[in-house]
Copies of this chain bind each other. A is one copy, B any other.
């Protein structure tokens, strides 16, 4: 049982759109990541993906209309729903899901 500080972990990240797992609970991974620019459009057929914004601003592009998230905002992308996170400036956030999605299938840009 280790505590971690989300803000410090976010500040220590070096790579954009990569996820670092801080802890697990009930088979969910709680991961920190930072983004700038956009990922590719993608979806996760096996899991919902939840975002909590800790700094900056991120827009979740959705086919049904974009949702803009600011500090303190929480949003769930249901499984199977196509989405594309976009951050005009650097955004730092927590991602919760069943496993790491920072790969090509998870929309990570080249």
Q: Kindly specify which of A35-43, A45-53, A100-108 makes contact with the partner chain.
A: A45-53
Contact: A6 with B67, CB < 8 Å?
no
Residues of B within 8 A of A47 (CB): 26
Within 8 A of B (CB), among A6-43: 6-8, 22-28, 30
The one of B30, B76, B98 in contact with A50, judged by C-beta atoms closer than 8 angstroms, is B30
Contact: A22 with B97, CB < 8 Å?
no
Contact: B23 with A73, CB < 8 Å?
no
Q: Once the chains are docked, how many angstroms separate the CA of A19 from the CA of B28?
A: 20
Contact: A62 with B26, CB < 8 Å?
no
How many chain copies does the complex carry?
2
- Report the interface size class on chain A: 35 or more
A69 within 8 A of B: yes
Contact: B72 with A28, CB < 8 Å?
no
Q: Once the chains are docked, how many angstroms separate the CA of A48 from the CA of B76?
A: 20
- The distance from the CB of A74 to the nearest CB of chain B, in whole angstroms, is 5
Chain A residues within 8 Å of B, Cβ to Cβ: 1-8, 22-28, 30, 47-50, 52, 54, 62, 64, 67, 69-78, 81, 94, 96-98
